């Protein structure tokens, strides 16, 4: 439901935050970075999908994530994701939803429709509705372009810290590193809210999202994303308030 997979790798990645070789050091570097950051906020959907795809390739190639090949589990995720994507706030981009071989209970979104769930998460959900809840939350991050904004902020920071030209490949590197960072609390609440309204437009009950969070809260071991997200009771409370306020339970009578 956010980020936080392999924190050790993040640590390593932070130290070696890839900047282009000093050979590209130039007077115009800072300006170029700011320009790059500006470009990020006005990417077309097609460019964003392309960037998401390059980040995906980078994550796989570097071994930072291991994708589960075609399987019944993957098909299940993609079937549920297709229903959720259609009802999401951004139904007009293609969604690439993949399963990461990892025992921790987690899910991620980058940009351009790229969403990941771990095998641990698939084991933890009670049903397709809870899986839909997680996917709707992740698609909420994508609709709100949270990762893109983080990339933009990182590009601006780099522009301030180093007068180096930021090439396209460096941008992809930044994106791949952001995969392991956390979204802000406000971003998480926004993704929850968008996810809830998305679910209300599917046959899955919106309640499945707070239900899943409540379930995690009661697990003996502390699932990975609980440490990287606002505390579940607060999220559950906010979600329940929205369900009551907008009568979201009425939309589908709670059927799976």
Does 2 help bind Zn ion (rule: CB under 5 A)? yes
Of 32, 48, 54, 138, catalytic = 138
Counting residues that bind Zn ion (by CB under 5 A) gives 4
Does 133 help bind Zn ion (rule: CB under 5 A)? no
Stretch near Zn ion under the rule CB under 5 A, chosen from 27-35, 174-182, 191-199, 201-209: 191-199
What separation in angstroms does the CA of 116 have from each of 106, 121, 132? 8, 10, 13
Q: Give least dist CB 192 to Zn ion, A.
A: 8
**Between 32 and 194, CB nearer to Zn ion:** 194
Per DSSP, the residues of 44-96 read -HHHHHHHHHHHHHHHHHTTS--B--S-HHHHHHHHHHHHHHHHSS-TTS--E
The residue among 7, 33, 38 whose CA lies nearest residue 179 is 7
Stretch near Zn ion under the rule CB under 5 A, chosen from 10-18, 49-57, 190-198, 213-221: 190-198
Contact 87, 252 (CB under 8 A): no
**Between 2 and 120, CB nearer to Zn ion:** 2
Does 213 help bind Zn ion (rule: CB under 5 A)? no
The residue among 232, 228, 235 whose CA lies nearest residue 217 is 232
* Active-site annotation holds for 48: no
Residue 191 CA to residue 136 CA, distance in Å, equals 8
Does 139 help bind Zn ion (rule: CB under 5 A)? no
Does 230 help bind Zn ion (rule: CB under 5 A)? no
Does 1 help bind Zn ion (rule: CB under 5 A)? yes
Residue 15 CA to residue 10 CA, distance in Å, equals 9
Binding residues vs Zn ion (CB under 5 A)? 1-2, 188, 191
Write out the catalytic residue numbers.
138
């Amino acid at each position: 439901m956010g980020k936080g997979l392999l924190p050790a790798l993040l640590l390593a990645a932070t130290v070696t935050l890839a900047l282009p070789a000093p050979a590209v050091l130039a007077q115009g570097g800072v300006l170029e970075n700011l320009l790059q950051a500006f470009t990020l906020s006005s990417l077309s959907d097609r460019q964003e999908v392309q960037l998401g795809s390059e980040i995906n390739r980078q994550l796989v190639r570097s071994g930072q994530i291991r994708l589960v090949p075609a399987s019944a589990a993957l098909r299940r995720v993609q079937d549920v994701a297709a229903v959720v994507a259609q009802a999401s706030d951004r139904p007009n981009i293609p969604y690439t939803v993949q399963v990461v071989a990892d025992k921790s209970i987690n899910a991620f979104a980058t940009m351009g429709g790229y969403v990941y769930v771990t095998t641990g998460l698939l084991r933890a959900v009670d049903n397709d509705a809870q899986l839909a809840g997680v996917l709707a939350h992740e698609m909420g991050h994508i609709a709100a372009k949270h990762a893109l904004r983080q990339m933009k902020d990182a590009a601006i920071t780099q522009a301030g810290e180093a007068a180096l030209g930021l090439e396209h490949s460096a941008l992809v590197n930044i994106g791949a590193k952001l995969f392991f960072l956390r979204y802000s609390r406000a971003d998480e609440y926004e993704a929850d809210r968008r996810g809830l309204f998305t679910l209300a437009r599917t046959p899955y009950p919106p309640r499945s999202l707070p239900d899943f969070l409540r379930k995690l809260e009661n697990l003996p071991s502390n699932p990975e994303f609980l440490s990287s997200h606002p505390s579940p009771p607060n999220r559950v409370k906010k979600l329940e308030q929205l369900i009551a306020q907008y009568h979201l339970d009425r939309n589908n009578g709670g059927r799976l």
